[in-house]
Amino acid sequence: MESTRKQLIELLENKRGHISGQELSDQLDISRTAVWKHMKELKKDGYDIEAVQRKGYKIISYPNKISGNTLQWGLDTNWLGSQMHHFEQVESTQAIGHEMAKQGKPHGTVIVADEQVKGKGRMSREWHSPKGKGIWMSILLRPELAPIQAPQLTLLAATVLAELIDERSDLQPQIKWPNDILVNHKKISGILTEMQAEQDQIQYVVIGIGINVNQGLQDIPADLHHKASSLKIESGQEWSIQETVQQILRIFEKRFDQYLSSGFSSVKENWEHYGYRIGEEVTISTMKHSWRAELIGIEPDGALRAKKANGVEEKLYSAEIHW
Ligand code: BT5
């Protein structure tokens, strides 16, 4: 996203020594006062900027804290993240997503928090979201889709995260239907899609994405050790939260636009590429029943297709999978 702020950073970065206020004002075509105001904002966002009389400005160090501004710098999307709201601590970014939707915030608004104290999973389960260790983010969308299509957005988000991990590392991400991203059989990430809809039209959707990024084992509750992990534990290195958020948004925008223009088939293909235990026998359970079946893939509408031992195939819209 081109903004004066972004251009200002680039000018500061590209100059070896100091760059004068006059030069910045000429190049950016803004007043000296405006330059000074931007500098104040940069400092607020954690940039350490040296200002020397008659020489000008120079970046001494970059922020290591995230803000709405730092998340937007270097973000090369067209609409996703055009409004970026960052919070240090929230109960849940989902709740804020709903509030912002009701306030009329636009399609593509993104909410990111350093910490959630009431992070939630599906069916009111808890989502552990420790401070500064992961990506706790909600995306507000206002798509012209029917409510029945909303689950497809969960699958789309899952493919985006799998693609990101695939692009950025040697890890082999897999998607466990419908919303878990696994690496080495452990859950790294979960997605929660919530919507407000009229009978045949979605008003808005809030897609919640939780990714365990830089947790060590000690940052993961003991009762989850057997089934949860983080990108850092699995890859052996720290990941930049800021860059990772930006990459997710870039891939998300691309895949979402593609989905709107050419339908669910591209998502389906991508999903099946990463699908976990496809072709294998698993246990499927709903509130009432539990049975063994072979996972076949997903349907053109996103439902899970499975085959029972007696050969009968079934379509599932909500269920849990175990093995
Ligand atoms: C999910 O639910 O996987 C959806 C998680 C969505 C979290 C995001 S973070 C941003 C946004 N704001 C929110 O408040 N939520 C969204 P589900 O499939 O129901 O899985 C929940 C289960 O995963 C829990 O019951 C635990 O067993 C396990 N779990 C909890 N925290 C975890 C974590 N950090 N990593 C891996 N597993 C976890």
| pLDDT given for residue 275 in this prediction | 94
E strand spans, the chain: 48-52, 56-61, 84-90, 109-116, 134-141, 173-176, 180-183, 186-197, 202-212, 281-285, 290-298, 304-308, 313-316, 320-322
| pLDDT given for residue 70 in this prediction | 82
As a whole number of angstroms, the distance between CA 227 and CA 16 comes to: 49
Same domain, 95 and 240: yes
Distance 26 CA to ligand 1 centre (A): 49
Q: Which residue range(s) make up the domain with 76?
A: 68-274
95: closest CA among 72, 129, 66? Answer: 129
pLDDT tens profile 227-263: 999 999 999 999 999 999 999 999 999 999 999 999 9
User: Ligand 1 atom 30: the closest Cα is on which residue?
Assistant: 127
User: Ligand 1 atom 33: the closest Cα is on which residue?
Assistant: 128
Instruction: Place 45 in a pLDDT band, splitting at 50, 70 and 90.
Output: confident
pLDDT tens profile 205-226: 999 999 999 999 999 999 999 9
Instruction: Place 137 in a pLDDT band, splitting at 50, 70 and 90.
Output: very high
Same domain, 305 and 196: no
Residue type, 115: E
CATH number at residue 286: 2.30.30.100
User: Ligand 1 atom 29: the closest Cα is on which residue?
Assistant: 127
Same domain, 101 and 214: yes
Ligand 1: residues whose CB is within 6 Å? 92-94, 116, 119-122, 125-129, 136-138, 179, 187, 190-192, 208-210, 212, 224, 228
Same domain, 53 and 94: no
- Kind and range of the H or E run holding 27: helix 21-28
| pLDDT given for residue 159 in this prediction | 97
Q: What integer is the mean pLDDT of 2-7?
A: 78
As a whole number of angstroms, the distance between CA 169 and CA 186 comes to: 16
Q: Report the domain count for the chain.
A: 3
* CA distance readout (Å), 92 to 82, 114, 150, 204, 231: 21, 11, 21, 18, 22
Same domain, 261 and 242: yes
Ligand 1: which of 100, 110, 127, 136 to mutate, judged by most atoms within 8 Å of the beta carbon?
127
Ligand 1 atom index nearest CA of 210: 9
The three-class DSSP label of residue 248 is helix
Residue 266 above 50 pLDDT? yes
Same domain, 258 and 291: no
Q: Please, are residues 36 and 21 in contact by the beta-carbon 8 Å criterion?
A: yes
| pLDDT given for residue 87 in this prediction | 95
| pLDDT given for residue 232 in this prediction | 97
Same domain, 168 and 42: no
User: Where among 13, 36, 61 does a domain terminate?
Assistant: 61
User: Ligand 1 atom 9: the closest Cα is on which residue?
Assistant: 210
Ligand 1 atom index nearest CA of 119: 14
Distance 192 CA to ligand 1 centre (A): 8
User: Where among 23, 43, 61 does a domain terminate?
Assistant: 61
As a whole number of angstroms, the distance between CA 186 and CA 181 comes to: 8
User: Where among 42, 61, 80 does a domain terminate?
Assistant: 61
Ligand 1 atom index nearest CA of 228: 36
Distance 31 CA to ligand 1 centre (A): 48
Distance 288 CA to ligand 1 centre (A): 23
Same domain, 166 and 291: no
pLDDT tens profile 67-126: 888 888 789 999 999 999 999 999 999 999 999 999 999 999 999 999 999 999 999 999
Distance 237 CA to ligand 1 centre (A): 23
* CA distance readout (Å), 66 to 51, 70, 71, 88: 23, 6, 7, 9
User: Ligand 1 atom 34: the closest Cα is on which residue?
Assistant: 128
As a whole number of angstroms, the distance between CA 153 and CA 130 comes to: 26
Distance 25 CA to ligand 1 centre (A): 47
User: Ligand 1 atom 25: the closest Cα is on which residue?
Assistant: 125
As a whole number of angstroms, the distance between CA 287 and CA 279 comes to: 24
User: Ligand 1 atom 35: the closest Cα is on which residue?
Assistant: 228
Would you tell me how many other CB atoms lie within 10 Å of the CB of residue 213? 21
Q: Please, are residues 288 and 172 in contact by the beta-carbon 8 Å criterion?
A: no
Residue 130 above 90 pLDDT? yes
Would you tell me how many other CB atoms lie within 10 Å of the CB of residue 101? 23
Same domain, 16 and 77: no
Same domain, 185 and 105: yes
As a whole number of angstroms, the distance between CA 254 and CA 279 comes to: 29
Same domain, 121 and 40: no
Write out the DSSP string of 34-97: HHHHHHHHHHHTT-EEEEETTTEEEEEE---S--HHHHHTT---SSTTSSEEEEEEES-HHHHH
Same domain, 138 and 45: no
Distance 127 CA to ligand 1 centre (A): 4
Share of the chain above pLDDT 90, in %: 82
| pLDDT given for residue 1 in this prediction | 42
pLDDT tens profile 143-181: 999 999 999 999 999 999 999 999 999 999 999 998 999
The three-class DSSP label of residue 153 is helix
Helix then strand then coil, in percent of the chain rounded to 5, is: 35, 30, 35
